[in-house]
Structure 1
Amino acid sequence: MIEKRTQKTSFLLIFALFLVLLSACGTPQETPVATCQPTEAPTSTPTRTPWPSPTPTPTSTPTPRPPGAEDMPFKMGVVLSPIDQNALTASGVLSQYLFEQTGLAFQVEYYERYEDLLHDLGDYSLHAAWLPPLTYVYAQQEELAEVNLLVNNYGTYAIGVQFLAPKSSGVQVSFNAEKNINTANAATALRQFQGKTPCWVSRTSASGYVVPAAILEQNSIPVQPGAMLQSHSAVIRALYAGGICDFGATFSISGDPRTAPDLLAEHPDILEEIPIIWRSDPIIPNLNLSYHPYIQDDLRSMINVALFNFISSPEGQQTLTNTLQYNVQDLKWVEDDLYQPLTELLEILGDDIASFIGG
């Protein structure tokens, strides 16, 4: 009896303990105290605070070393082909004079092609160059050169173009040779060449092709493809002979190729038989001295003054003439706006300016 009671009591204790544990695992209706299974914490994507963008450190273009030391002489470029001994001797005299006047080492660098000269301007192994007009326009647009001095060649600083045609073709002349003036504008004077065949000098000749072709284009005067004859005197001879072209164009203002001694000897009546039909203003600048943009103004001025002093004597003029193989009678300061009329005509023509390098 006692054993049964004991068993019963033990059973009740175990059952009560079970109820206590069960109540602990349950979720009370009121404020929870504990849970048996842990509640998984909600996950959230952490908010990233973006790193501030770094402020770019200002970079400065390093100032190139000024030329003029013995190990880095100031190099002045000239295109000459072939290069003759007279030019080399004269360039040595010029370099020595510039050294004496400025205290800087100088060297005249000769090239056979303007493309090579422009390449060296581009990498700053050349510091200045003597450039013809079309080549300068290209170099200036490419930021390779800035004009400073212009050469007086046979008494003029710039040349024009003249249109010529055989008198026997019945052309209307719009130029008064005695008064040296046009009697009509370009559109009126040149309209008679519409559909005709021209004789040109070469594609890189400013006065023998580029400017006259642009003037025709400017005035809406289409012509046939022309013959490229390689020289101004050849254009005159072709017009005199006939059968090759209807009209032609050559340089003017600084001279007249019709008056070349050999042409006059061959054809004494050439001035009468091949008259000037119309002539432009002097819009094609002569050879110039241009500096690389890195060359500072004070250095340019020092060199320019030395060159002015050098050509103040006939001996200096002749030495510079021999150095360049280009007649030099004087120099003058000029600015880039001098080339604006020529640049506008090149734009009218519409061809790639790089194709005129050399002119």
Structure 2
Amino acid sequence: MRNYRVLLLGLALLLVLVPLAGCKPAESALGTKDNPIVLAFVPSGDTPEIIESAEEIAALLSEKTGYVIEGSVATSYSAVIEAMGTGKAHMGTLATFAYILAHEKYGVDVALVSVRYGRAFYNGEIIAGADTGITKLEDLAGKTMCWVDAASASGYIIPSIMVKAAGVDPDTDLAQQIEAGSHDNVALAVYQGDCDAGACYIDCRDKIADDYPDVYDKTVVIAESPEIPNDGLQFIKEFPADMREKIVQAFIEIMATDEGVEAMGKAYGWAEVVEKDDSFYDDFRAVLDASGVDVEALAK
């Protein structure tokens, strides 16, 4: 009888414990304190300023949407792509080529494109030290070249195509290639003579002119790129549509305020934003394709 009671007790405990063993704590809803939405900024300029801007914009978006949104600054363009691809970041401020890679590889989708000086496009430039004797692209052979980042449209992709078209193969004809990490750093490296020449957006020298007012005398522009679509705000493929729409509208409203323009202007020079879909980048894709850049291969 005693053994029978023990058996019944054991069965009762088993019935209770088995369901409990299969239960896992439910993941907190996205946009809450325990599962915040992460907005990743790319390090294209002065990092402390970008960190400050990321925090300010995240706070403004949180206040307007009611979601918990955290801003972060990655170490490179590629780091933002991978963070969005693995779900560690949910939104990003990717530049053109980085976005195209992220879209191809992970389905990242654009929602907003930035506007500067009334345009949703920009141009890149190649600058050189005024005392280097470099006046045209052909003169870059045997010189040290600074790039921004391998995923930067104006800081590497397009200018490297231009340099190669001029008969200078970056991989074999340059003395050295240096990845500076930001447009500001390219301007500073050329100004200080660490690089003979460098590629960046027009006009990256403005960002260091307050500290180095003679930068326009000590550097010269030797080439300008064709139009490149601006950077913008993108979302991961799995992001809930209703939350995305709410954040997009909040971002548009924030960018209509002085506070929003100041925050994004400080980081990237954004003056306003416009809604765009992925087709906005099709013409640029055609340029890449015509130049022999295989985006699908790079995305693998």
TM-score normalised by the chain length of structure 2: 0.65
| Equivalence for 2:224 | 279
**Cα offset, 1:150, TM superposition:** 1.4
Structure 2 residue 178 is the aligned partner of structure 1 residue 228: yes
Deviations, residues 210-235 of structure 1 (Å, cap 9, x unaligned): 32112223454433243427222234
CA distance in 2, matches of 1:229, 1:74: 32
Question: Residues 156 and 264 of structure 1: is their aligned pair in 2 closer, same or farther, counting only changes over 3 Å?
Answer: farther
Q: How does 1:64-143 map to 2 (within 5 A)?
A: 70=32, 75-79=37-41, 87-88=54-55, 91-99=58-66, 105-110=67-72, 112-113=74-75, 117-124=80-87, 126-143=89-106
| Equivalence for 2:23 | none
**Cα offset, 1:284, TM superposition:** 5.1
Contact 2:31 2:69 in 1 (8 A): no
CA distance in 2, matches of 1:221, 1:116: 30
CA distance in 2, matches of 1:194, 1:71: 52
CA distance in 2, matches of 1:150, 1:121: 18
CA distance in 1, matches of 2:258, 2:191: 35
CA distance in 2, matches of 1:290, 1:345: 21
CA distance in 2, matches of 1:73, 1:342: 36
TM-score normalised by the chain length of structure 1: 0.56
**Cα offset, 1:317, TM superposition:** 2.6
- Counterpart AA for 2:262: Q
Question: Residues 139 and 122 of structure 1: is their aligned pair in 2 closer, same or farther, counting only changes over 3 Å?
Answer: same
| Equivalence for 1:348 | 292
Structure 2 residue 243 is the aligned partner of structure 1 residue 289: no
**Cα offset, 1:95, TM superposition:** 0.5
Contact 1:251 1:257 in 2 (8 A): no
Question: Residues 196 and 113 of structure 1: is their aligned pair in 2 closer, same or farther, counting only changes over 3 Å?
Answer: closer
Q: Point out where structure 1 has 5 or more consecutive residues left out of the alignment.
A: 1-64, 100-104, 173-188
CA distance in 2, matches of 1:69, 1:228: 39
- Counterpart AA for 1:93: L
- Counterpart AA for 2:258: P
Question: Residues 207 and 119 of structure 1: is their aligned pair in 2 closer, same or farther, counting only changes over 3 Å?
Answer: closer
| Equivalence for 1:54 | none
Question: Residues 316 and 233 of structure 1: is their aligned pair in 2 closer, same or farther, counting only changes over 3 Å?
Answer: closer
Structure 2 residue 207 is the aligned partner of structure 1 residue 263: no
Deviations, residues 168-210 of structure 1 (Å, cap 9, x unaligned): 67666xxxxxxxxxxxxxxxx64x3373424213443443333
Structure 2 residue 152 is the aligned partner of structure 1 residue 201: no
| Equivalence for 1:12 | none
**Cα offset, 1:328, TM superposition:** 3.0
| Equivalence for 1:303 | 247
| Equivalence for 2:161 | 214
Sequence identity, in percent? 17
**Cα offset, 1:329, TM superposition:** 1.6
* RMSD of aligned Cα (Å): 4.2
Greater radius of gyration (CA): 1
Question: Residues 68 and 166 of structure 1: is their aligned pair in 2 closer, same or farther, counting only changes over 3 Å?
Answer: closer
Contact 1:232 1:251 in 2 (8 A): no
Name the structure where helix makes up a greater proportion of residues. 2
**Cα offset, 1:90, TM superposition:** 5.1
Contact 2:61 2:247 in 1 (8 A): no
- Counterpart AA for 2:90: H
Partner of 2:237, secondary structure, is: coil
CA distance in 2, matches of 1:310, 1:157: 18
CA distance in 2, matches of 1:130, 1:141: 16
| Equivalence for 1:16 | none
| Equivalence for 1:337 | 279
**Cα offset, 1:330, TM superposition:** 0.7
